[in-house]
């Protein structure tokens, strides 16, 4: 059956082509990102159906849901047909998705390499627009027993207190730690400050027989590992 143009009202489409009906009849996995977003939007404008408007919003984020997750309510409201209520609905749905991914990393995780550590940290840090520093605390089986945000800073940097890191490690009985911070710019090149704090923490931890296994720099969909680059 021939589909109606996107600019036509969704109400005039065949049931098989309407996002809500399509989800109900065929399941959510068959819907495109634009169709799922259109369900949240509910209605479009005089110029665009909800699907057409959703495509414009996605296009502005390079069809990247991670990037869309960074959009503020104010930025979403700049699209014609998106008022405050719709913008808040979109932002809330994207936040639920982020929290769902984060909740999946709450179960004990054995760290076998940098990719495992990234899997734990990515849902928390990848979409942040400011810089944060986190620590993963591990037991002698290399299983994560605790994770903690050490500091939160502006987009240009953050502060790290070595004493707090090691105090918490001793309280938890951790024998190893993994350092991590994000670069909101997306750059995966360690700065001199990154190298310096890694060295400082490694030397201080060594005195207490605590190993620094890695330091990850987190970006949106990728990471840089000090251990993989043999910088530890």
Q: What is the mean pLDDT of the chain?
A: 85
Q: Is the pTM of this model over 0.85?
A: no
Are 213 and 134 found together in one domain? yes
- Judge whether 230 lies within some domain: no
pLDDT over 70 at 10, yes or no: no
Domain shared by 87 and 119, yes or no:
no
Q: CA geometry: angle at 200 spanning 219 and 114, to 5°? A: 35
- Half-sphere exposure of residue 107: CA atoms within 13 angstroms, side-chain side: 3
Q: Are residues 130 and 213 in the same domain?
A: yes
Structure confidence at residue 156 (pLDDT): 57
Both 89 and 187 in one domain: the answer is no
Q: Tell me how far apart the alpha carbons of residues 182 and 60 are, in angstroms, rounded to a whole number.
A: 23
Which residue reads 């620590």 in tokens? 135
178: closest CA among 156, 145, 152, 155? 145
Give the domain-ending residue among 102, 129, 154.
102
* pLDDT class of 109 with cuts at 50, 70, 90: confident
Q: How far apart are CA 92 and CA 55, in angstroms?
A: 19
Q: Is residue 72 part of a domain?
A: yes
Residue 117 lies in a domain: yes
Q: Are residues 78 and 138 in the same domain?
A: no
Q: Which domain holds residue 16?
A: 10-102
Give 120-179 pLDDT, tens digit per residue.
Answer: 998 888 878 889 999 999 999 999 999 999 988 865 556 788 999 999 999 999 999 999
Boundary residue ending a domain (54, 83, 102) = 102
Of 61, 84, 102, the domain-final residue: 102
Pair 126, 183 in one domain: yes
CATH at residue 113:
3.40.140.10
Q: Is residue 4 part of a domain?
A: no
Same domain? For 68 and 136 the reply is no
CA distance 48 to 65: 21
Judge whether 1 lies within some domain: no
**pLDDT tens figures, 179-192:** 999 998 888 999 99
Q: Is the pLDDT of residue 2 over 80?
A: no
Residues in the chain: 232
């Amino acid at each position: 059956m021939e589909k109606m143009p996107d600019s036509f009202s969704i109400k005039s489409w065949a049931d098989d082509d309407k996002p809500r009906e399509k989800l109900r009849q065929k399941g959510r996995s068959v819907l495109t990102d634009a169709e799922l977003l259109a369900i949240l939007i509910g209605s479009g404008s005089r110029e665009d159906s909800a699907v057409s408007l959703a495509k414009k919003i996605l296009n502005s984020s390079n069809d990247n849901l991670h990037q869309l997750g960074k959009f503020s309510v104010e930025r979403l409201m700049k699209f014609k047909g998106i008022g405050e209520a719709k913008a808040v609905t979109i932002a809330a749905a994207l936040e639920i998705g982020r929290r769902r991914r984060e909740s999946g990393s709450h179960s004990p995780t054995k760290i076998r390499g940098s990719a495992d550590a990234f899997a734990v940290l990515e849902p928390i840090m990848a979409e942040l627009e400011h810089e944060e520093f986190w620590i993963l605390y591990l037991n002698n089986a290399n299983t994560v027993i605790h994770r903690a945000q050490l500091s939160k800073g502006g987009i240009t940097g953050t502060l790290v207190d070595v004493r707090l890191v090691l105090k918490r490690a001793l309280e938890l009985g951790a024998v190893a730690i993994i350092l991590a911070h994000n670069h909101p710019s997306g750059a995966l090149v360690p700065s001199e400050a990154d190298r310096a704090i890694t060295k400082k923490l490694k030397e201080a931890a060594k005195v207490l027989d605590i190993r620094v296994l890695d330091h990850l720099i987190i970006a949106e969909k990728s990471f840089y590992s000090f251990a993989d680059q043999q910088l530890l």
